[in-house]
Structure 1
Amino acid sequence: MVDYQKGYSLDSIELLNSLAATERLLIVQDLDGVCMGLVRDPLTRVIERKYVAAAAHLAGRFYVLTNGEHIGRRGVNRIIERALENPAQALEHGLYLPGLAAGGVQLQDRFAEVSHPGVSEAELQFLQQVPRKFTRFLRALLVAEPYQLDGQLVDQLVASAVLENLVSPTLNINVLFQHLKTQPDIYRRLQQEIAAFMADLHAQAAEQGLGASFFTHYAPNSGRDAQGHERLKPGAENNAGTTDFQFMLTGAIKEVGLLVLLNNYYFAQTGHYPLGHDFNARQAPHAQAELLKLARAKFDPALMPRIVGVGDTVSSSVQPDSAEVLRGGSDRGFLHLVQALGEEFERENLVVYIDSSAGEVRRPGVDAELLQRRKTEPTLAPWPALEGISDPADPLRLDVIFSGGHQQYVEFFCELAERLTASRQ
């Protein structure tokens, strides 16, 4: 059982003071639900201008790590440009968010210089076909039984659901959950039919000699099965379960991306890449033990920063038939590796969890009142306040929790950037 006397704090002021006094600091942060509200239609996402400016002030100490993409019509770069008075300012002043997208295979700097290390031309060509296949499949599915939706409505839903990302094409069915949430059996059938379609895409890739090139990422998910495949999280009347079905490149998992970012961090400090100039997510091991072994062998402990991992997608659910606990969430792996690296390199690394349940997408929320009571009742266990998120045997410890969601985190982030900037002057 995890020691609940540690962590699970709501005290962002103590966190702010601690990080502002940290000499070597690296913040690695997810995006949707963390610095932007979760929305049903990704095209309606909004990012605050002050957050963009703060991220620029933290240059060298801040990277993003997201399953979304930097580029394209639905990419975060477009959201940043819309937040500015003049979109050209983003390029002129280096206001794009540096880091990894598409799970770890799309690398970008502050000036939107984008690369896809380790990705072949054949893989890119196959990926370009996927959004059109998504569109044809979903249109045919939704007009047929048992859905039988109106053709004009189907066109609107498909336009929102199909994300034509370059290296992580995605079906996001948040908008479909809104239409089917009172029919949970029908909604779960939709999830299963999409999962079967994703499997068919993998079969098509195998026919073209790309059988090992891709995997399906479910967000949120219920962890992995014995074969290492992610488990779909079935929806319920009050919970959408898996809403994002992402056709992704093998190796594009966030925990691997964390090592890619550390490789770049060390280069910025020393002019040398400890893992090599060409190291990328496609060639790295996937297991945490192997990633830690690689980090131990290659990273100079004296230069290892204090890492703060920030995410909002962590889940824990008990199977009613077996009492087995399934743990998942697209941020879980990289947050757990942040925690493990802290233990390995004796750094006070921190896992920061953002409660994104107040957005348009239904997710388990944090009982902030119960967690607040722990300040005066230290023997009070936090688990009832984290139902659906964590559990007593969860190896991932949530050190600080932002119960106020992305709004609270953005205010914190901007204050931290201001204080760190002032300390440099």
Structure 2
Amino acid sequence: MADYLTGYSLDSTDLLDSLVATERLLIIQDLDGVCMGLVRDPLTRVIERRYIAAAARLAGRFYVLTNGEHIGRRGVNSLIENALVDPSHAREQGLYLPGLAAGGVQLQDRYAEVSHPGVSDAELQFLLEVPAQAETFLRRRLAAAPYEIDEPLLSTLVSSAVLDNRVSPTLNLNVFYQQFKASPSIYCRLQQDVAEFMAALHLQAADRALDASFFTHLAPNSGRDEHGHERLKLADENNAGTTDFQFMLSGAIKEVGLLVLLNHYYFGQTGAYPLGADFNPRQAPHTQAELLKLASDKFDPQFMPRIVGVGDTLSSHVQQGSGEVLRGGSDRGFLQLIQALGELFEQDNKLIYIDSSAGEVRRPGVDATFLQRRKAEPALEPWAALTGITDAADPLRLDLIFSGGHQQYVEFFCALAERIGNPR
């Protein structure tokens, strides 16, 4: 039976019942757009208290895997503290979200014990200098033609756009997409200008013998080119294209982080790290084939959990001229690896997609009405409902779609935690 006949469901009832009955369960979940709304300014994000409590009840069965960060002014830890009546309860009761941030190089437990395994002092110092350079670049560029933004608006926009994350400094162009939405060609020019700025940072790093230390992560993107670099997704009339330009440490990619999290899961189950206590994304292979080989060699099938992957950033579009289908999205890699691990270890892994298009960031949305018709017409192909997200030839197959966005997913997550009960 074709995968699309059984996947792409809008009904979470059966999956909820199935997960409650699963003996070894591991949920690996993105954050922005998944358990909280997508916003133009990360400082305005809000996370629900009930979600925090549910995550704590799922301790041992739940990790986050995000390109954002745990710490700092824009980190998720501050959102946790702001959501609580008494912020000190976060550390006392272990209410922080465990898992990997910055793509995989920032590790945290429930008590906010944070480390950056495999990262050198020289790399940390270079990263510390990036936000100031980004601010200087934006100020100079945006004051000139064709942008010509005057003060005090310029200062306001730059302050929102430069994210001073500790190990993944980022330029977030959402505020500029809003500023130039009446002139999309100007916004596309800014996307290209920022891409050139990121390239210049890599040249600086090379001058300091750090040429292999970093890469630029683009979110959303259009997959990778023949050199392995992520492709810029230019804006069009329907979405903002690439909005986040993240200067990240090499190896900080989510699919590698997935194996790091499994390594820690196995330690919780067996008391031993199959990949070694110091295993980190910077020393791991990067291709799916190599990662699967490593998993096959090191992970005991007896303790392999059923994995549920949750994300909201996938893209698929046809390139003009060549007709080539470009697939990308920062959640694609780790979701595909979860799918492949399920096949390798004969586990019924599940992939959940959250439609985050109702947030402040324009993205392709799901046509829920069309998908709903599939209940009466099960042979109906789902692709028309998922334009810009996935396609008929996409090897990634989504099992469940929350068309109601993060609010609907939070309801599901809390219901799951309630039924599973207290953490082991």
TM interval, short-chain normalised: over 0.9
CA contact (8 A) 2:59 2:423 kept: no
Aligned-partner Cα distance in 2 for 1:197–1:224? 19
Aligned-partner Cα distance in 1 for 2:28–2:282? 20
Aligned 1:291-306 pairs, distance under 5 A: 291-306=291-306
TM-score normalized by the length of structure 1: 0.99
Q: Which moved more, 1:175-184 or 1:98-107?
A: 175-184
Find the counterpart in structure 2 of residue 317 from structure 1.
317
State the Cα RMSD in Å.
Answer: 1.1
Find the counterpart in structure 2 of residue 171 from structure 1.
171
Aligned-partner Cα distance in 2 for 1:194–1:151? 20
Q: CA deviation at 1:4?
A: 1.4
Find the counterpart in structure 1 of residue 9 from structure 2.
9
CA contact (8 A) 2:60 2:423 kept: no
CA contact (8 A) 2:357 2:365 kept: yes
Aligned-partner Cα distance in 2 for 1:3–1:265? 29
Aligned-partner Cα distance in 1 for 2:423–2:383? 38
Q: Secondary structure at the match of 1:54?
A: helix
Find the counterpart in structure 2 of residue 50 from structure 1.
50
Q: CA deviation at 1:13?
A: 1.1
Find the counterpart in structure 1 of residue 118 from structure 2.
118
Find the counterpart in structure 1 of residue 420 from structure 2.
420
User: Identity, % of aligned pairs?
Assistant: 75
Q: Secondary structure at the match of 1:5?
A: helix
TM-score normalized by the length of structure 2: 0.99
Aligned-partner Cα distance in 2 for 1:308–1:357? 22
Find the counterpart in structure 2 of residue 149 from structure 1.
149
Aligned-partner Cα distance in 2 for 1:181–1:422? 48
Q: Which amino acid aligns with 1:286?
A: H
Q: CA deviation at 1:165?
A: 0.4
Aligned-partner Cα distance in 1 for 2:2–2:311? 20
Aligned-partner Cα distance in 2 for 1:386–1:43? 30
1:287 aligns to 2:287 (yes or no): yes
Q: CA deviation at 1:2?
A: 6.6
Find the counterpart in structure 1 of residue 403 from structure 2.
403
Find the counterpart in structure 1 of residue 216 from structure 2.
216
Q: CA deviation at 1:237?
A: 3.0
Q: Secondary structure at the match of 1:276?
A: coil
Q: Which amino acid aligns with 1:39?
A: V
Q: Secondary structure at the match of 1:343?
A: helix
Aligned 1:121-132 pairs, distance under 5 A: 121-132=121-132
Runs of 4+ in 1 over 4 A off after TM superposition: none
Could you list the per-position Cα deviations for residues 204-241 of structure 1 after superposition, in whole angstroms to 9, with x for gaps in the alignment? 00000000000000000000000000001001133100
Could you list the per-position Cα deviations for residues 144-181 of structure 1 after superposition, in whole angstroms to 9, with x for gaps in the alignment? 10000112101000110000000000000101100111
Find the counterpart in structure 2 of residue 103 from structure 1.
103
Q: Which amino acid aligns with 2:247?
A: F
Q: Secondary structure at the match of 1:39?
A: coil
1:239 aligns to 2:239 (yes or no): yes
Q: Which amino acid aligns with 1:72?
A: G
Aligned-partner Cα distance in 2 for 1:168–1:156? 21
1:388 aligns to 2:380 (yes or no): no
1:266 aligns to 2:262 (yes or no): no
Aligned-partner Cα distance in 2 for 1:409–1:214? 34
Q: Secondary structure at the match of 1:374?
A: helix
Q: Which amino acid aligns with 2:271?
A: G
Find the counterpart in structure 1 of residue 70 from structure 2.
70
Q: CA deviation at 1:341?
A: 0.2
CA contact (8 A) 1:181 1:237 kept: no
CA contact (8 A) 2:102 2:252 kept: yes
CA contact (8 A) 1:2 1:394 kept: no
Find the counterpart in structure 2 of residue 184 from structure 1.
184
Aligned-partner Cα distance in 1 for 2:226–2:156? 38
Find the counterpart in structure 2 of residue 139 from structure 1.
139
Q: Which moved more, 1:314-323 or 1:414-423?
A: 414-423
Could you list the per-position Cα deviations for residues 351-410 of structure 1 after superposition, in whole angstroms to 9, with x for gaps in the alignment? 000000000000000000111111110110000000000000000001100000000000
Unaligned runs of 5+ in 1: none
Q: Secondary structure at the match of 2:282?
A: coil
Could you list the per-position Cα deviations for residues 2-61 of structure 1 after superposition, in whole angstroms to 9, with x for gaps in the alignment? 731131111111111111111100000000000000001110000000000000000000
Q: CA deviation at 1:423?
A: 9.9
Unaligned runs of 5+ in 2: none
Q: Secondary structure at the match of 2:55?
A: helix
Aligned-partner Cα distance in 1 for 2:38–2:140? 28
Aligned residues between the structures: 424
CA contact (8 A) 1:182 1:237 kept: no
Could you list the per-position Cα deviations for residues 280-333 of structure 1 after superposition, in whole angstroms to 9, with x for gaps in the alignment? 000000000000000000000010000000000000010121110000000000
Find the counterpart in structure 2 of residue 349 from structure 1.
349
Q: Which amino acid aligns with 2:279?
A: F
Q: CA deviation at 1:422?
A: 6.3
Q: Which amino acid aligns with 1:302?
A: Q
Find the counterpart in structure 1 of residue 203 from structure 2.
203
Aligned-partner Cα distance in 2 for 1:181–1:17? 44
